[in-house]
Amino acid sequence: GRGVPLTMASGAPDRKIKQVIAIMSGKGGVGKSLVTGLLAVSLRRQGQQVGILDGDITGPSIARMFGTKGQPTKSANGGIEPLRSKGGIKIVSMNMFLEKESDPVVWRGPMISSAIKQFYSDVDWGNLDYLLVDLPPGTSDAPMTVMQALPLDGVIVVSSPQMLATMIVMKCIHMVQQLKGSIVGVVENMAYFETPNGERYEIFGPGNGTELVAMTGAPLLGNLPIDSVLTTLCDAGRVEEYYAEAYEEMAANFINTLRI
């Protein structure tokens, strides 16, 4: 890095990034990256300046979801210029530094966290209302060191209905609490599937949003359906074209929560 001191202190008045929010999940595949991406899309639609730091560098999907191609360039003041999505979201992902998108990143926790620290400090983010950090999944040392290294204002925990039963989400919540982080909200993804005539099926079991709220003391920001249109758009790099009430509501709840 440039030797920029990174501290846990946040909220400095001169800081160019107003809110640094990490998105985490107890394990991979629950939709953490998707929630990060779609939260960014909704916030951007509302005219906010948004950046995404794709810290899930063991399986970076943010750049793919937004269809951003190419490598970041050097910015005028010597930092790294982030890529921009069509809608104007600033994105930096490990994917952008790999030779081939399919190259595996076989790194240990400390290497991952130092890469992410560099993404935070060496990227020329400019003025941002929100920097969303897509954390590595799980509760290993990688997400933990990232959480300690960045001046986080809050954490969003993404869960799916069956996760409470397995206690995976509890581990996640305990980790944030141990690190004295603040959970600003919980999101339940893949909560149900809705048929074209409006019938809802809870494919992965009944929702547990109420329990999550009780355990964290944080509000339920979203209850998100399974939607194949969404998966298709993500695979095509066109996530910004997706619009669904449930996601707009999540973003509105998120903004309101931070205001309180």
Can you tell me which of 122, 129, 227, 249 binds ligand ADP, judged by CB under 6 A? 227
- Rounded to 10 deg, the angle between the 245-259 and 32-45 helix axes is 80
DSSP type of residue 137: S
* Distance, CA of 123 to CA of 121 (rounded, Å): 6
* Distance, CA of 100 to CA of 168 (rounded, Å): 33
* Distance, CA of 84 to CA of 98 (rounded, Å): 18
115 within 8 A of 86, measured Cβ to Cβ: no
234 near ligand ADP, rule: CB under 6 A: yes
Can you tell me which of 17, 19, 20, 32 binds ligand ADP, judged by CB under 6 A? 32
Q: How far is CA 209 from the centre of its chain?
A: 19
Can you tell me which of 17, 30, 43, 157 binds ligand ADP, judged by CB under 6 A? 30
The gap between the terminal CA atoms of the chain, to the nearest Å, is 35
Can you tell me which of 230, 240, 242, 254 binds ligand ADP, judged by CB under 6 A? 230
- For ligand ADP, give the closer residue by CB, 115 or 226: 226
Can you tell me which of 157, 190, 212, 215 binds ligand ADP, judged by CB under 6 A? 190
Can you tell me which of 34, 39, 91, 94 binds ligand ADP, judged by CB under 6 A? 34
Stretch that binds ligand ADP, among 29-37, 88-96, 117-125, 195-203 (CB under 6 A): 29-37
* Distance, CA of 100 to CA of 247 (rounded, Å): 32
Stretch that binds ligand ADP, among 25-33, 73-81, 107-115, 142-150 (CB under 6 A): 25-33
Smallest distance, Å, CB 237 to ligand ADP?
12
- For ligand ADP, give the closer residue by CB, 130 or 242: 242
Q: Which of residues 65-124 bind ligand ADP (CB under 6 A)?
A: none
- For ligand ADP, give the closer residue by CB, 17 or 35: 35
155 within 8 A of 91, measured Cβ to Cβ: no
Exposure letters 163-184 (e unless 16+ CB within 10 A, then b): bbeeebbbebbebbeeeebebb
Smallest distance, Å, CB 71 to ligand ADP?
22
Q: How far is CA 205 from the centre of its chain?
A: 24
Phi-psi region at 143: left, alpha or beta (left = phi > 0; alpha = psi -120 to 50): alpha
CB-based contacts of 110: which residues, under 8 Å, 6+ apart?
A: 141, 145
232 near ligand ADP, rule: CB under 6 A: no
Stretch that binds ligand ADP, among 102-110, 196-204, 211-219, 227-235 (CB under 6 A): 227-235
- For ligand ADP, give the closer residue by CB, 51 or 55: 55
Name the residues that contact ligand ADP, by CB under 6 A.
25, 28-34, 56, 61, 137, 189-190, 224, 226-227, 230-231, 234
